[in-house]
């Protein structure tokens, strides 16, 4: 299994599956969308330890990106 979009949310799923071997990373997320983004260091992500999917919207992001 290899998720191809929204790596911010896919990290937890991939970390829980025995057959996940990579999460595709495309750096197209606006830098002001999430309060804290998982960082890619030396080609690896550390799965966030926060509850749920591990990320939260940045203050004002909901208003700015509402459609």
Q: Does the predicted model carry a pTM greater than 0.95?
A: no
Contacts with 50 (C-beta within 8 Å, 6 or more apart), sequence order: 56
Neighbours of 11 (CB within 10 A): 22
Please say if the pLDDT value at position 14 is more than 90.
no
Please, which pLDDT band fits residue 6 given cuts at 50, 70 and 90? confident
As a whole number, the mean pLDDT across the chain is 85
Calpha distance 35→53 (Å, rounded): 13
Helices (H) and strands (E) in the chain, counts: 2, 2
Is residue 8 very low, low, confident or very high in pLDDT (cuts 50, 70, 90)? confident
């Amino acid at each position: 299994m290899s998720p191809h979009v929204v790596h911010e949310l896919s990290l937890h799923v991939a970390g829980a599956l025995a057959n996940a071997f990579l999460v595709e990373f495309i750096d197209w997320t606006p830098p002001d969308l999430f309060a804290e983004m998982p960082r890619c260091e030396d080609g690896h992500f550390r799965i966030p330890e926060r509850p749920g999917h591990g990320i939260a919207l940045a203050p004002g992001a909901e208003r700015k990106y509402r459609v």
